[in-house]
Amino acid sequence: MSGRCSLRPFGRFFFKPLWFYLLSPLFRKVFKIKAYGSEVLESKEPLIIAPNHRSYIDPPLIASLSPEPLVFLAKKELFEGKLKNWLFRNMNSIPVDRSKADFNALNEAVGRLKEGCKVCIFPEGRRAPQRGFLKPKPGIGYLVAKTQVPVVPVYIHNSTEILSSDNKHFRIPKREVIVIFGKPIEFGYVEDSPRGYKKVANLVMEEIKELSKKVKEYL
C-alpha cells in the first residue's frame, strides 16, 4: 500500500477545491447532516467504506464527510454518454455492471486500494426499501480477500427525506440525517473464494444493522 491516492487533473485542481472547501460544508448544512465517528476518515491508510443504501443522495452525502476524495463504485448507467463518463471518471468513480459479477470493476477497486485510496462500496449493491436492508452482494468480500484492507461499516438514517426512490426532486429534510460510522473491522486472512466473500459481506451487513440500532441515541 503506497498511502497515496492519485487524482486526475480535473479532480485535483478543480473538483477537489470546489467540493471540499465550498460545496461540502454547504451540503451538510442545507441537508441537516449530522455525522458520528466520521473522524475515522481522517486516517492516512486505505479503507473500505461500507454504507447501507436507500437514496440516490447517499454517495455525495458520504463524500461530503470525508476530508479527502473517495473512490466510489457506481452503476455503469451513470457513465452513459461521453460527458457523464468523463465527469464521473474524473470524480474517482468506477463503473459497475450490476447484471453480473463485474470483476473488471472490482479489480480496478483493488488497484485503487493498493495505491492507498479509500474506496466506498455499498454492500447491498443497489438501493434498499425505505426502512429495510437487502441481502449483501459478495463484492465487498472480494475486495477484502484481495487486499486485507479494513472495512468501516456505516449506517445512514433518513436520507430518503432528501431524495426518495419515488421522488426525483431534492427536499430539505424536516429531521436530521444521521450518519454513524463504526470502528474499522480488521479481517486478516479471508478465504479467497465465493464462500469467503459471502462470509465477509454478511458480517459487514450485520455490523451495519447493529449501527442502525444506535440511531435513537442521537435523535
Report the CATH number that the domain containing residue 174 is assigned in CATH: 3.40.1130.10
Burial of 60-94, coded b for 16+ CB within 10 Å and e otherwise, reads: bbbbbbbeebbbbbbebebbeeeeeeeebebbbbb
97 vs 91: CA distance, rounded Å: 18
Cα separation of the two ends of the chain: 39
Q: Examine residue 149 and state whether it is found in any structural domain, yes or no.
A: yes
Please report whether residue 22 resides in a domain: no
151 inside domain: yes
In a domain, 2, yes or no: no
Give 10-residue mean pLDDT values along the chain (219 residues).
Answer: 69 72 90 96 96 94 91 92 87 90 96 96 92 94 97 97 78 92 95 97 98 92
Per-residue pLDDT, 2: 54
How many other CB atoms are found less than 10 A from the CB of residue 41? 19
The answer to whether residue 56 is domain-embedded is: yes
192: domain range?
29-217
Close Cβ partners of 2 (under 8 Å, ≥ 6 residues apart): 114, 115, 116
pLDDT of 147 reads 97
Considering the domain boundaries, does residue 111 fall inside one? yes
DSSP, collapsed to helix, strand or coil, labels residue 95 as: strand
- 18 falls within a domain: no
Which pLDDT score, from 0 to 100, does residue 7 have? 72
Residue-level pLDDT at 11: 66
**Pair 109, 122: CB distance under 8 Å:** no
Burial class of residue 215 in the structure, from the number of CB atoms within 10 Å of its CB (0-12 exposed, 13-18 middle, 19+ buried): middle
The predicted structure's pLDDT at residue 23: 87
- Sign of the torsion formed by the C-alpha atoms of 62, 64, 67 and 69: positive
Q: Which among 154, 182, 148, 147 is positioned nearest to 54, based on CA atoms?
A: 154
How many domains does one find in the chain? 1
pLDDT the model gives residue 129: 83
Q: Of 201, 196, 218, whose CA–CA distance to 52 is shortest?
A: 201
Q: What is residue 89's predicted lDDT score, i.e. its pLDDT?
A: 86
pLDDT of residue 8: 74
The predicted structure's pLDDT at residue 1 = 63
- C-alpha 172: how far from its chain's center? 22
Is the C-alpha dihedral spanning 15, 18, 19, 21 positive or negative?
A: positive
Full-model pTM: 0.92
Classify residue 14: in a domain, yes or no.
no
pLDDT of residue 172: 87
